[in-house]
């Protein structure tokens, strides 16, 4: 475990890696408000949300164990949202336990946020929305780990500009789903990136791509992953051109033998690698403790608390204004925080997933002995 923590701290945080100053014992008080309870009358949807909350909390506990290796003890105070009515939520911020928190995580919907916020006293904690985009109160420092699509698209365009500064950008748009098109256009214009817009009709782009020799990016907006094959002809003959998938592609991915997957880049908020040694070690520890496979919610919780714990240790408190302007990679998440107000932060980090090309070697066979 010690080697695992050292590796993750260096890889994960770069400029905010846990250092010698973090070796003095520190105590982090974390409050968690999530919907855990279900019974026989619960709907299937409620049971799925409850299981996600339980997995998330299990991931938090594993992150606490990892932080303990760095002399950071995490004390949890857990409230079950399913067992609290409106009046209890209104009284929650007045309790001594609540006021003593360093980090408050949850809930998942806006109504309980508003009930708590309406009675929020002066406090110093960081309010975290871990799995949903919520409007959190400006009275406290707060962060949405999963921002609105407009934020994710802004992060994606920023990464593409950095990685492909010499490429030409072309939007491939599904005319039946243009809900995200405005966000892409605004992000590209803000980055001063020129682009053209095309619709895919059968295997043809309309209008046609400009007849130039430059390398291209085909950025998909609302299209299906099944359109990869039709688009592949436009990038296959260019040495350094790529199809950039829609934000939904990685979750609906299907294999296709006719496509060179090294030419497809999949933007994703979460990426669990089946070969990454750290993700595999986390899975092993989770199974050993929980007797079940970890879902993405367990990974998300681990990344979030480990990140905040390291920041807390290095700064003696939580002040996201002190974060370096850099991206941080966890087990499955990429974090790049943007300040949208004096106390309001949102994560616009997007992970760009690329499939590696696998060269198959011919098997050597021994000749039969005579």
Give the domain ranges of the chain. 2-146+274-353, 149-268
Most confident of 12-16, 167-171, 173-177, 251-255: 167-171
Q: One fold for both 2-146+274-353 and 149-268? A: yes
Give the residue among 85, 80, 121, 118 at the shortest CA–CA distance from 100.
Answer: 121
Rounded Cα–Cα distance for residues 66 and 6 (Å): 10
Span 149-268: which CATH code?
A: 3.40.50.2020
CA atoms of 236 and 260, how far apart (whole Å): 8
CB burial string 288-299: b at 16+ within 10 A, e below:
eebeeebbbbbb
Average pLDDT over residues 277-300: 95
Tally of CB atoms within 10 A around 13: 23
CATH number of 2-146+274-353: 3.40.50.2300
pLDDT one-digit tens code per residue, 181-218 = 999 999 999 999 999 999 998 889 999 998 888 999 99
Q: Is the pLDDT of residue 21 over 90?
A: no
Note the pTM of the prediction, 2 decimals: 0.86
pLDDT digits (tens, 9 = 90+) for 331-348: 999 999 989 888 999 999
- Per-chain mean pLDDT for the chain: 88
Phi, psi for residue 181 in degrees, rounded to 5 = -60, -40
Residues 231-249 have pLDDT tens digits of: 999 999 898 999 999 998 9
Across 5-19, 245-259, 284-298, the highest mean pLDDT is recorded for: 284-298
pLDDT at 175 over 60: yes
Of residues 359 and 92, more confidence is placed in 92
């Amino acid at each position: 475990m010690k080697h695992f923590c050292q590796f993750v701290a260096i890889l994960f945080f770069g400029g905010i890696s846990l250092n010698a100053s973090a070796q003095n014992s520190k105590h982090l008080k974390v409050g968690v408000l999530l919907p855990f309870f279900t019974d026989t009358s619960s709907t299937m949807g409620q049971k799925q949300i409850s299981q996600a909350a339980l997995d998330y909390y299990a991931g938090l506990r594993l992150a606490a164990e990892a932080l303990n290796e760095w002399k950071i003890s995490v004390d949890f105070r857990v409230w079950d949202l399913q067992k609290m009515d409106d009046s209890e939520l209104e009284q929650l911020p007045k309790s001594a336990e609540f006021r003593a928190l360093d980090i408050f995580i949850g809930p998942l919907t806006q109504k309980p946020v508003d009930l708590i916020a309406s009675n929020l006293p002066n406090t110093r904690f960081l309010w975290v929305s871990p799995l949903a985009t919520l409007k959190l109160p400006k009275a406290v420092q707060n962060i949405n780990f999963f921002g609105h699509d407009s934020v994710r698209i802004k992060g994606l365009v920023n990464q593409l500009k950095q990685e492909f500064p010499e490429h030409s950008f072309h939007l491939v748009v599904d005319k039946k789903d243009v809900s995200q098109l405005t966000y892409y256009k605004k992000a590209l214009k803000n980055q001063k990136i020129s682009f053209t817009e095309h619709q895919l009709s059968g295997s043809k782009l309309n209008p046609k791509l400009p007849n130039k020799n430059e390398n291209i990016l085909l950025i998909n907006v609302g299209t299906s992953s099944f359109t990869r094959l039709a688009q592949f002809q436009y990038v296959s003959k260019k040495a350094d051109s790529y199809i950039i998938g829609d934000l939904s592609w990685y979750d609906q991915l299907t294999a296709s033998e006719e496509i060179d997957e090294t030419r497809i880049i999949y933007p994703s908020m979460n990426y669990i690698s089946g070969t990454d040694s750290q993700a595999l070690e986390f899975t092993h520890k989770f199974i050993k403790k929980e007797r079940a496979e970890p879902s993405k919610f367990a990974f998300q919780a681990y990344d979030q608390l480990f990140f905040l714990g390291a920041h807390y240790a290095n700064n003696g408190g939580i002040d996201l204004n002190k974060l370096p302007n850099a991206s941080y990679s966890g087990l499955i998440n990429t974090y790049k925080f943007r300040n949208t107000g004096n106390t309001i932060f949102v994560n616009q980090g997007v992970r760009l997933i690329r499939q590696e090309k696998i060269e198959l070697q011919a098997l050597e066979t021994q000749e039969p002995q005579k």
